[in-house]
Chains A and B, each alone.
Chain A
Amino acid sequence: MKQIKFIFTGPPGAGKTTAIATISEFPPVSTDVFSTDSLSKLKDTTTVAMDFGQITLENGQKIGLYGTPGQRRFKFMWDILIQGGLGLIVLIDNRRPEPFKDLAMYLDNFSEFIEKTDAVIGITCIDIKDTPTLDDYQDFLKERGQIYPSFAIDARNKDDVLFLLNTLLTCLETS
């Protein structure tokens, strides 16, 4: 059975490393280092190369979980990590000043990849900052002509992250 590769992306602090650690069946490979930019106000470390974890589904299907660095200066890693990927999970931190701008940036930069595969969107920290709402995100995507499933999730919650994964698998099976 061929291993599936999914990629987690999104801005720094959105929960990519946490989401992978939450569901990986082994301690994930992490390339976090001390952060020296303004992000360090929110978290001490940042991913500079990749995260890697793995989960095996009940049917024996293995899914490789790859996390990208969030900052655009690491775009060369985005281009490396999507190779062989079958789907994209975009995590957006609702606390950030311009979450729509964040979402647009990742959808634009991964547009070729998404066109060939599929994507789901997880909104984190919506319990801390409740605007924009999930409906606002769906309207935003609709305006862009991009209909991707979007959900509020907690990256620390295994069921939430698995739900994103299962949704992406379903999208791939039905597309």
Chain B
Amino acid sequence: MDNTIRLPENVLAFARLELQKIADELEGIKVVVLATEDGFDIVSAVRDGSDPSRIAAMASSISAISTVVSEEANLGDSKNVIINTVSGFAVMQSIIRNDARLVLNAIANEKAVLAHVIYRTSHFANSLLTL
């Protein structure tokens, strides 16, 4: 099954460039994937052989569960989810554009600095909203 989302070419070009920059410039990044809310990968930068399609599907499920938890607790819209582990972390950032509902996923090992990754993914998300 293919996804039918067609982001504007300038958005895709920006996403390709920026995700590669995040992967190249931040130490410890394993993979960065921009995916649809329903779990299809659109653009990715992979440094460790991860399968972007699997990461896209998992991020979709986790983001959906975080939305349910946010609603149940009356916490407003879920902005991001962070899974902090003994050997790294995963950050899932929601990006709600007028033409698409997306999730940005960044997975990093213990060499990465969480704050740096959150800053870059949030910055990317905000930029994507203005294009």
Chain A residues close to B by CB (< 8 Å): 29-40, 46, 48-50, 69, 71, 73-74, 76-77
Contact = CB atoms under 8 A, between A and B. Distances in A.
Among B54, B61, B68, find the residue whose CB has the most chain A CB atoms closer than 10 A.
B61
B60 A37 contact: no
B61 A31 contact: yes
Most-contacted residue by chain B among A29, A32, A73 (CB, 10 A):
A73
Given A34-B101, A39-B1, A71-B1, A49 B65 contact: yes
B67 interface: yes
B39 to A, nearest CB: 6
9 A-B pairs with least C-beta separation:
A31-B64, A49-B61, A36-B3, A37-B1, A73-B57, A33-B37, A49-B64, A48-B60, A36-B5
A74 B65 contact: no
Contact of A34 (B37, B54, B57, B67): B37
Interface of B: 1-5, 36-40, 53-54, 57-58, 60-62, 64-65, 67-68, 100-101
A37 B3 contact: yes
B68 A34 contact: no
B61 A48 contact: yes
Give the interface centre of B4, B5, B54 by most chain A CB atoms within 10 Å.
B4
Nearest to A12: B1
**Residue with the greatest number of chain A CB neighbours at <10 A, chosen from B4, B39, B62, B68:** B39
A36 B3 CA distance: 5
A82 to B, nearest CB: 15
Contacts of B58: 76
Given A34-B101, A39-B1, A73 B53 contact: yes
Given A29-B68, A31-B68, A33-B37, A38 B60 contact: no
Nearest to A29: B68
Contact of A77 (B3, B61, B68): B61
A9 B6 CA distance: 30
Contacts of B40: 36-37
B50 to A, nearest CB: 14
A36 B36 contact: yes
Given A34-B101, A37-B2, A74-B57, A48 B67 contact: no
B61 A37 contact: no
Contacts of A30: 68
A73 B3 CA distance: 13
Nearest to B58: A76
Contacts of A33: 37-38, 60, 64, 101
Nearest to B5: A36
A167 B58 CA distance: 33
Nearest to A47: B64
29 contacts: A29-B68, A31-B61, A31-B65, A33-B60, A33-B101, A34-B37, A36-B3, A36-B5, A36-B37, A36-B100, A37-B4, A37-B38, A38-B1, A39-B1, A46-B38, A48-B38, A48-B39, A48-B61, A49-B62, A71-B39, A71-B57, A73-B53, A74-B39, A74-B60, A74-B61, A76-B54, A76-B57, A76-B61, A77-B61
